[in-house]
Amino acid sequence: MPRRCLLTLSAAAAVALALAGCAPTASTDVAAATNHAVTDASGTATVFISGDTNVQSLWTDAIIPAFEKANPGASVTTTLDLHGEHDAQTMAKLTSSVQAKEDPGFDLIDSGFIQAAGKAGLLEDVSADNIPNLATVPDTTVKAGAGFGIPYRASSVLLAYDSDKVKTPPTTLDELLKWITANPGQFTYNSPSTGGSGAAFVTTVLDKYVSDKSRTAMTTGYDQSLEGEWDKGFDELKSLGSSMYQQGVYPNGNNQVLELLGTGAIEMAPVWSDQVITAQKTGTLPSNIKYAQISNPSFTGSASYLGIPKTAAHKDVAQKLSDYVLSSEGQALIASTIAGYPVISLDNVPADLKDKFASADPSTLRPTYYSQMASDMNNLWDAKVPGQ
């Protein structure tokens, strides 16, 4: 996932782009529609993947073989841009093909630039009419896709801590903030522009002072006039600066934070759910690192979106494939392959999955800000917090 793991020079671009693509995934009302299996697709399609190897294997080893098995007439190929290094060029290619009304060469995009592409009018509109399973996704999650993004998986940020040193981890935001000032130098988060885990921490602290009404507006659209409500939160973040690792170091990227946690340089940090699970599986994070969600408010989570280019040659197959990904079968594959949260309401997922994600119910995930609000948040954070 580009949002997660990128540290290289050009990947910085991808991180930012991917961040722009992060959008809300929560819901207050759950759709009543029922999920259906997809078995009637035929034809070919190409999926463009801009992300890490885990996303690639999700498509090539799990979703596509299962989709082709369920739909004997369909055949899907992939194009990979590892870590989304060429997102800017891909965007340019997409833009020029749509303007020239030509096939861009791919029919479904899995990338962080969906939001940007959709805003520029390059993506096909989607709704439950052409992707029926979209009706089983909670309303707010769908709305955050702004009519062109197809939410298909989610993940959230958790609080990870060194269980050897921290015996009673904070369980609420206020406790966490107290813990940070009581243990100077033992906590940090990555700068919000370089990764979603730091952005989630910043968002959560800001939310402490934002009214519910404004927050809802901030997650579904862009309204610069609401940004005044962030002032208190930024003051709080600024005052935390001297209690951060090395009195104010905010590493660039989610992985640098994980690394500091792994080497014991810090005792606590916000981390991505799937990243911490994967890091422990592969051994880069020792087993004494434990993680839990805080409450009141919780850290944010977000959905990843797919998009269909307006001029794609095989839109019908792309829509069927998206529909398949949103079927209970497809969602189960995402959970088992990359520890991703389902985006469809939990009534529609298999029973074993339902138990697994009961504590991380996607409909209770707090959404992140709308992409342009997040851009402004990154900018204001950069102006007000580090080095002050």
Partner 1 sequence: MTDIRSGRRAPVGARRRVSPEARRSGIGLAMALPPVVLLALFVGVPVVLAIGFSLGHTGGLNSTIASIGLNTREATSWWGTAQAYVDVFTDPRFTRDLGVTIGVTVVSTLIVLALALGIALNLRLRGGRLASVFAGLAVVPLFIPVVIASWAILTFYSGDGFVRTVFALVGLTGPTWGYTTVAVVIGSVWTSLPFATLMAISGVQSIPDAMIEAAKDAGASSFSIVTRILVPLSAIPLVIAATFTAIGVLGSFTVPYFTGPNAPSMLGVDISKYFQAFNHPQQAIVMAVVVFVLASGIAFFYVWANFRSAKKEGRV
What is the binding site for partner 1 (CB under 8 A)? 7-9, 12-13, 15-17, 19-20, 95, 116, 119-120, 191, 193-194, 245-246, 248-252, 263-265, 372, 375-376, 378-379, 382-383, 386-388
Q: Compute CA distances 284 → 60, 189, 280, 287, 334, whole Å.
A: 25, 18, 6, 9, 22
Nearer to partner 1, 233 or 362 (CB): 233
The Cα 174–Cα 58 span in angstroms is 37
Strand partners, 341: 154
Smallest gap from Cβ 125 to partner 1, in A, equals 18
Smallest gap from Cβ 202 to partner 1, in A, equals 12
Nearer to partner 1, 245 or 341 (CB): 245
Smallest gap from Cβ 185 to partner 1, in A, equals 9
Nearer to partner 1, 193 or 327 (CB): 193
Smallest gap from Cβ 106 to partner 1, in A, equals 19
The Cα 27–Cα 98 span in angstroms is 33
Q: Phi-psi bin for 33: left (phi > 0), alpha (psi -120 to 50), beta?
A: beta
What is the Cα gyration radius of the chain? Answer: 20
Nearer to partner 1, 7 or 128 (CB): 7
Task: Determine contact, residues 312/121, Cβ cutoff 8 Å.
Answer: no
Smallest gap from Cβ 28 to partner 1, in A, equals 29
Smallest gap from Cβ 199 to partner 1, in A, equals 10
Start-to-end CA span in the chain (Å): 32
3-class SS letters over 49-93: EEECHHHHHHHHHHHHHHHHHHCCEEEEEEEEEECCCCHHHHHHH
Smallest gap from Cβ 93 to partner 1, in A, equals 12
Nearer to partner 1, 100 or 383 (CB): 383
Give one DSSP letter per residue of 248-263, joined into a string. Answer: T---SSHHHHHHHHHH
Which residues have C-beta within 8 Å of that of residue 356, sequence separation ≥ 6?
Answer: 335
Nearest residue to 107 via CA among 325, 305, 306, 308: 308
Nearer to partner 1, 29 or 125 (CB): 125
Token pair for 39: 């078995």
Nearest residue to 127 via CA among 33, 209, 211: 33
Nearer to partner 1, 11 or 142 (CB): 11
Nearer to partner 1, 19 or 294 (CB): 19
Nearer to partner 1, 11 or 338 (CB): 11
- Return the C-alpha torsion angle 72, 75, 81, 83, nearest 10: 0
Angle at the Cα of 368 from the Cα atoms of 366 and 369, rounded to 5 degrees: 135
Smallest gap from Cβ 123 to partner 1, in A, equals 13
Token pair for 59: 């498509």
Smallest gap from Cβ 264 to partner 1, in A, equals 7
